[in-house]
Amino acid sequence: MVSLNKVMIIGNVGGEPEMRYTPSGHPVTSFKVATNWVYNTPEGERKQETEWFTVVAWNKLAEQCNQFLSKGRLVYVEGRLRTRSWEGQDNLKHYRTEVIASRVTFLEKANVGTGIDAREDDNGGGELEPEDIPF
């Protein structure tokens, strides 16, 4: 059976990227990306909705994102969705859906079309063991 898990977003970075290292020394960077959807209501009123995505990049891609991304930068992110779950201190199960980036392209005029592809990376885009996740 064929399946597909692919996400492509273009939006603005919502804050400074945060880079950490796993216990085994692999870099991982997470950052938020905001996308906007503008539409008109049946009454003719123009509305805008913002959707926030948490993006996680690994290895060389993580290092590049940490070095070149900053709040407000326009980026193209390609990757897959992953939902993590954990039990909180409140004994409730919590969930977080993230985009695991395989490609990030910086779309600002100074760096149009520059970016890095995780397939060029040593570890194939972040297929690490769960104990390597630093958060």
Across 118-134, average pLDDT? 49
Half-sphere exposure of 15 (CA within 13 A, CB side): 10
Residue 112 domain-assigned (yes or no)? no
For CA atoms 54, 128, 64, 81, the dihedral sign is negative
Does some domain include residue 131?
A: no
Number of domains in the chain: 1
pLDDT at 19: 97
**pLDDT given for residue 108 in this prediction:** 77
At residue 125, the pLDDT reads: 47
Classify residue 13: in a domain, yes or no. yes
36 in any annotated domain: yes
The residue that leads in pLDDT, 10 or 124, is 10
- Average per-residue pLDDT for the chain: 86
Pairwise CA distance, residues 7 & 102, whole Å: 10
For residue 45, the domain's CATH number is 2.40.50.140
In tens, the pLDDT along 95-112 reads: 999 999 999 999 976 555
Q: Greater confidence, 132 or 11?
A: 11
Domain membership of residue 2 (yes or no) is no
Q: Is residue 46 scored above 80 in pLDDT? A: yes
Phi, psi values for residue 51, rounded to 5°: -115, 130
pLDDT, tens digit (0-9, with 9 covering 90-100), for 23-45? 999 999 999 999 999 999 999 99
Residue 22 has pLDDT above 90, yes or no: yes
Instruction: Give the pLDDT confidence score for residue 82 in this predicted structure.
Output: 97
The domain in which residue 28 lies consists of 7-106
